[in-house]
Amino acid sequence: MSLLDEIEPLKAEALAELNAATDQAALDHAKGTWLGPQGRFTGLMKQMGSLSKEDRPLAGKSINAAKGELEAALQTARDRIELAAAAPTEPTDFTAPGRRRTLGKLHPLTQVTEDIVKSFRKLGFAVADGPEVEDEYHCFDALNTPADHPARDAQDTFYVATDGRPLLRTHTSSVQIRVMKEQKPPVRIIVPGRVYRRDTADATHNPTFHQVEGLYVDKNVTVADLKGTVEFVFRDLMGPKTQIRFRPHYFSYTEPSFEIDFANALTRKMGKDWLEIAGCGMVHPAVLEEVGLDPEEWTGWAFGFGIERIAMLRYGINDIRLFYENDLRFLRQF
């Protein structure tokens, strides 16, 4: 049999084997058998040299054509096997329920803070902030709190260094000073933020907690504005039947100063007529002067309250430390 006659049957045999391969191993084997360096088809090509000069062109053409066909078949088989490997081994059940991802939630303190911010936004208040590492000037002096005031004692305040006396702010009131120095009135801001005090942790105290400060400075601002604003916000937060009352108090940065009590179904459930919730007052003339505002021209009010306390009342939480422990059994309830 001449070489030319061998091409077609050999090709047919090789094609059959390539097309029959159902996995990568079978395909590799077929490729080696036919097209590898020692392969049978490769062997055929090697015999070209023994052909006569006349037979060689025709044989070369046929062999190349056959080789092209085999390589195409090899690629087809490769694609087919790859596709089969990627296909699911089990039938898809399109009626099965989808897979759910576990989503995290906002911390209860964040949720309450967002609600407080939302309420004040309705009245045109903007959110401001300031540094947690403060200086004595913004935290105390500019707020009319003298050097011998107990809050400035190292027993009550975390001092970061003795040099220059930087400290961790004990209240968000420090931001009042920063904002009034930056911004001409009318000023209408609230400041939610973290504060620090040297308290031993127990059910109602923690060395870090959160406050919201509010400040409104304009012409002819009155206690009536203050009371109306506080009433609106607490009703928004704690229910429309919430009652508010002001009791005279003392803060060095306000005059007059008040403590705010509230009453609603919640306080009655706790067996109390009134619960203390915030401090407030008319911004002290000395504070206005300190930030370069003429107290004859400008008046303002300010308030501050604790966010944890609001959250504890709202959700009936009896231990403040639960907020900071990140126990999922606690957090998942909000």
Q: Which residues bind ligand DAH (CB under 6 A)?
A: 171, 173, 213, 251, 254, 279-281, 302-304
Report in angstroms how near the CB of residue 240 gets to ligand DAH at its nearest: 25
Q: Which of 51, 127 has the CB closer to ligand DAH?
A: 127
Report in angstroms how near the CB of residue 110 gets to ligand DAH at its nearest: 21
Q: Which of 108, 193 has the CB closer to ligand DAH?
A: 193
- Residue 54 has a CB neighbour count (10 Å cut-off) of 8
Report in angstroms how near the CB of residue 268 gets to ligand DAH at its nearest: 25
Measure the CA–CA gap between 164 and 137, rounded to whole angstroms: 10
Report in angstroms how near the CB of residue 156 gets to ligand DAH at its nearest: 11
Q: Which of 119, 254 has the CB closer to ligand DAH?
A: 254
Measure the CA–CA gap between 129 and 146, rounded to whole angstroms: 24
Say which DSSP state 99 is in.
P
- The DSSP bridge partners found for residue 12 are none
Nearest to 124, CA basis, from 233, 223, 259: 233
For residues 282 and 255, the answer to whether their CB atoms sit within 8 Å is yes
Q: Which of 234, 251 has the CB closer to ligand DAH?
A: 251
Contacts for 27 with CB less than 8 Å, ≥ 6 apart: 18, 21, 74, 77, 78, 81
Measure the CA–CA gap between 34 and 19, rounded to whole angstroms: 13
For residues 192 and 211, the answer to whether their CB atoms sit within 8 Å is yes
Measure the CA–CA gap between 275 and 266, rounded to whole angstroms: 10
Q: What are phi and psi of 21, to 5 degrees?
A: -65, 125
Report in angstroms how near the CB of residue 280 gets to ligand DAH at its nearest: 5
Say which DSSP state 151 is in.
G
Q: Which of 44, 278 has the CB closer to ligand DAH?
A: 278
Report in angstroms how near the CB of residue 164 gets to ligand DAH at its nearest: 23
